[in-house]
């Protein structure tokens, strides 16, 4: 990881409480440093031939590059949707924040 690079994994879910529990698990296992949850977003999408307009929650997980594959594996394994939305972005952060994210995602689960 460069001095300011972090990865954000954005995940949506139908239930903010499920999402909060999932994030607590990831933070506890040192897979992400934190997750910022937005409890109510509106999702308009096509599924099985119909247009849906639903309320969902979403989280932005801040992590290091090496932890992304395991986060995506857990999303696929544990998510209540058949096809979960999980999008990975790479971005630059303040050097002190990037260092904190890196520190929190190193080592074994606490």
- pLDDT tens by residue, 43-91: 999 999 999 999 999 999 999 999 999 999 999 999 999 999 999 999 9
CATH classification code of 7-104? 3.30.70.120
Predicted local confidence at residue 108, as pLDDT: 82
d(CA 20, CA 14): 12
Band (pLDDT 50/70/90 cuts) for residue 3 is: confident
Q: Give percent of the chain above pLDDT 70.
A: 97
Q: Provide the residue ranges of all domains of the chain, joining segments of one domain with +.
A: 7-104
Backbone angles phi, psi at 60, to 5 degrees: -110, 110
Contact 91, 6 (CB under 8 A): yes
């Amino acid at each position: 990881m460069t001095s300011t690079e972090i990865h954000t994994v954005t995940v949506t879910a139908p239930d903010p409480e499920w999402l909060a529990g999932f994030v607590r698990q990831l933070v506890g296992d040192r897979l992400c440093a934190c997750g910022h949850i937005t409890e109510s977003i509106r999702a308009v999408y096509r599924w099985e031939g119909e247009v849906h307009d639903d309320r969902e929650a979403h989280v932005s997980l801040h992590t290091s590059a090496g932890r992304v594959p395991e986060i995506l594996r857990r999303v696929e394994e544990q998510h209540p949707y058949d096809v979960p939305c999980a999008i990975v972005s790479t971005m630059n952060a303040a050097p002190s924040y990037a260092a904190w994210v890196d520190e929190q995602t190193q080592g074994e689960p606490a």
